[in-house]
């Protein structure tokens, strides 16, 4: 059973400036819920009730969001607005929230390594809240946790992307074992379309085995001069096994304005209006 999920939430949201000048991008609301809460709910649904946040300077509102707001609760309990309390209490009651600060931005691999003290020596999930995933059925992390029981090795979620977009992603090449499941042979971070080994792109959901931490410690900076989780996973794949999984559901790239707007419309039409 995987009980912990790491949330790297230290990054800057430059594409959303000025909105993200003093507000973390993870707190941008898709309709009425911050992006990071969608991620936390997905992790909790998968049984990963310990949510380990790798935060940074200027990210305090994320930790506040997953704590009691005493004054707010006091004000609205017993009033006509009490029903709203459920939407904030539910996630707090089900989860445990731990944090560590990443002092320097040295890449996603570095963020994962920074989270090591919160994870320890057990397999864990990683969720990038920029990638909002919605499925009519088990969420993506729940699907991957199920797969982990079978393979017992690191797993990355993948999706086919247009060939001219490979430079935005980690891209894999793998041997197809059965429908939607690949054993990874190679992975490259942000390849130019001409160098990409396929159009199967990694999206922000991972299950990692804890040996990844020692590998990360020995991983040199790669693409963009940053320590890349993709490079560490490539080492893991070469030493043993990494699987890639074409998840069921829709993924919205909420790290970009068009993806964020698309997610907002989708959630508004399919969830908010249906309530
Ligand atoms: C990160 C990873 C990349 C992955 C992507 C998914 O990149 O490094 O391999 O494909 O997330 O969203 P970022 O989007 O942080 O640049």
Closest atom of ligand 1 relative to the 224 alpha carbon: 16
Do residues 8 and 126 touch, judged by C-beta distance below 8 A?
Answer: yes
Stretch 118-137: mean pLDDT: 97
Domains in the chain, start-ordered, CATH in brackets?
Answer: 4-274 (3.90.550.10)
Per the DSSP assignment, residues forming a β-bridge with 133 are 251
Q: Using the predicted structure, report yes or no on whether residue 275 has a pLDDT greater than 80.
A: no
The per-residue pLDDT for range 179-238, each reduced to its tens digit, is: 899 999 999 999 999 999 999 999 999 999 999 999 999 999 999 999 999 999 999 999
**Ligand 1 within 6 A of CB of 189:** yes
Closest atom of ligand 1 relative to the 230 alpha carbon: 9
pLDDT at position 83 is 82
Closest atom of ligand 1 relative to the 253 alpha carbon: 12
Go through 206-215 and write b for each residue having 16 or more CB atoms within 10 A of its CB, e for each that does not: bbbbebbbeb
Q: How many residues would you count in the chain?
A: 275
**Cis ω before 224 (30° cut-off from 0):** no
pLDDT at position 80 is 85
**Ligand 1 within 6 A of CB of 169:** yes
Closest atom of ligand 1 relative to the 229 alpha carbon: 8
* Side-chain half-sphere CA neighbours of 74 within 13 A: 3
DSSP string, 148-189: HHHH-SEEEEEEE--GGGGGGSEEEEEEEEETTEEEEEEEEE
The protein residue with its alpha carbon nearest to ligand 1, atom 6, reads: 203
pLDDT at position 25 is 96
C-alpha torsion angle, residues 123, 6, 208, 226 (rounded to 10): -150
pLDDT at position 128 is 98
pLDDT at position 88 is 80
Do residues 109 and 10 touch, judged by C-beta distance below 8 A?
Answer: no
DSSP string, the chain: ---EEEEE-----GGGTTTTSSS-GGG-EETTEEHHHHHHHHHHHTT--EEEEEE-TT-HHHHHHTS--HHHHHHHTTSTTTHHHHHHHHHHHH-EEEEEE--S---HHHHHHHTHHHH-SS-EEEE-TTEEEE-SSS-HHHHHHHHHHHH-SEEEEEEE--GGGGGGSEEEEEEEEETTEEEEEEEEES--GGG-S-SEEEEEEEEE-THHHHHHHTPPP-GGGS--HHHHHHHHHHHS-EEEEE-SSEEEETTSHHHHHHHHHHHIIIIITT-
d(CA 74, ligand 1 centre) in Å: 40
d(CA 203, ligand 1 centre) in Å: 7
Q: Using the predicted structure, report yes or no on whether residue 27 has a pLDDT greater than 80.
A: yes
Stretch 146-153: mean pLDDT: 96
pTM here? Answer: 0.96
Stretch 90-107: mean pLDDT: 94
pLDDT at position 230 is 97
**Ligand 1 within 6 A of CB of 171:** no
Average pLDDT, the chain: 95
**Ligand 1 within 6 A of CB of 166:** no
d(CA 56, ligand 1 centre) in Å: 18
Ligand 1 test: best mutation among 160, 165, 170, 226, most atoms within 8 Å of CB?
170
Do residues 26 and 64 touch, judged by C-beta distance below 8 A?
Answer: no
The protein residue with its alpha carbon nearest to ligand 1, atom 10, reads: 169
């Amino acid at each position: 059973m995987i009980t912990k999920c790491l949330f790297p939430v230290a990054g800057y949201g430059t594409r959303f400036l000025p909105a993200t000048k003093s507000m973390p991008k993870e707190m941008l609301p898709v309709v009425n819920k911050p992006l990071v809460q969608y991620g936390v709910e997905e992790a909790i649904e998968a049984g990963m009730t310990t949510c380990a946040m790798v935060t940074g300077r200027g990210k305090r509102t994320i930790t506040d969001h997953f704590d009691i707001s005493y004054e707010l609760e006091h004000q609205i309990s017993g009033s006509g607005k009490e029903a709203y309390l459920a939407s904030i209490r539910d996630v707090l009651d089900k989860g445990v929230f731990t944090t560590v600060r990443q002092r320097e931005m040295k890449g996603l691999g570095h963020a994962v390594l920074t989270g090591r003290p919160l994870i320890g020596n057990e397999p864990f999930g990683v969720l990038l809240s920029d990638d909002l995933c919605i499925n009519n059925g088990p969420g993506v992390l729940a699907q991957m946790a199920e797969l982990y029981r079978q393979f017992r090795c690191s797993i990355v979620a993948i999706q086919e992307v247009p060939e001219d977009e490979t430079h935005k992603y980690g891209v894999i090449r793998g041997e197809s074992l059965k429908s939607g499941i690949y054993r990874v042979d190679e992975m490259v971070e942000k390849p130019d379309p001409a160098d990409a080994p396929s159009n199967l792109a990694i999206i922000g959901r991972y299950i990692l085995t804890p040996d990844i931490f020692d590998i990360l410690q020995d991983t040199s900076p790669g693409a963009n001069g940053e320590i890349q989780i993709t490079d560490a996973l490539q080492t893991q794949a070469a030493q043993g096994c990494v699987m890639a999984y074409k998840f069921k559901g829709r993924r919205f790239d909420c790290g970009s304005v068009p993806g964020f707007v698309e997610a907002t419309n989708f959630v508004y039409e399919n969830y908010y209006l249906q309530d």
